[in-house]
Amino acid sequence: GETAQVVHSAGRKFIVSPVPEARLKEP
Amino acid sequence: AEDTGVRVELNEEDDGEKVSIALKLWVEDPKKLKGKYKDTGAIEFTFDLVNEVPEVVAQEMVESGFFLDCDVKVVGKSIRDRVALIKWRRERTVSSGN
């Protein structure tokens, strides 16, 4: 899947990745 | 933990020792958010269990454009609940080992 990286001004990295579909509706 | 519509999971195995741990957050139920949520996917980030505050990370997510300001509390609470669970598990592991 596609990933994208966002770096906040505070220096924290956020990496956007696909939602794990199998875990979307865990009980 | 309360079902906030925002799910936070460990994104790596917790060895019980590392201070900074990888987490993954995604919206499970957009209807529970006040603002309109852009379906961007899951957000992976690292969190310092000792020195960081969940609400601050949530605010950084808002400022990075993942969420609207009206949802900062629910995102912060979701992270806080997961962090509390991680800490609780660690304490339990330590006490059962003694």
Please give the average per-residue pLDDT across B17-44, as a whole number: 91
For B43, the enclosing helix (H) or strand (E) is strand B42-48
Tokens of B7: 């799910």
Say which of A13, A16, A24 has its CB closest to residue B41. Answer: A16
The distance of B79 to chain A (nearest Cα, Å) reads: 14
Please give the average per-residue pLDDT across B51-73, as a whole number: 96
Model confidence at A1, in pLDDT bands (50, 70, 90)? low
Three-state DSSP class for residue B67: coil
Q: Does B61 touch chain A (CB under 8 A)?
A: yes
Q: Which residue of A has its CA nearest to B43?
A: A16
Q: Which of these ranges, A17-21, A22-26, B23-27, B79-83, has the smallest mean pLDDT?
A: A22-26
Contacts of A7 (CB under 8 A, 6+ apart): A13, A14
**β-strands B42-48, A13-17 pairing:** antiparallel
Above 80 in pLDDT, residue A25? no
**Using one digit for the tens of pLDDT, what is the confidence trace for B64-88?**
999 999 999 999 999 999 999 999 9
Whether B44 sits inside 8 A of A23 (CB atoms) is no
Instruction: Tell me what pLDDT residue B1 has.
Output: 65
Judge whether B77 and B4 are in contact, CB under 8 Å. yes
For residue B71, give the DSSP letter.
G
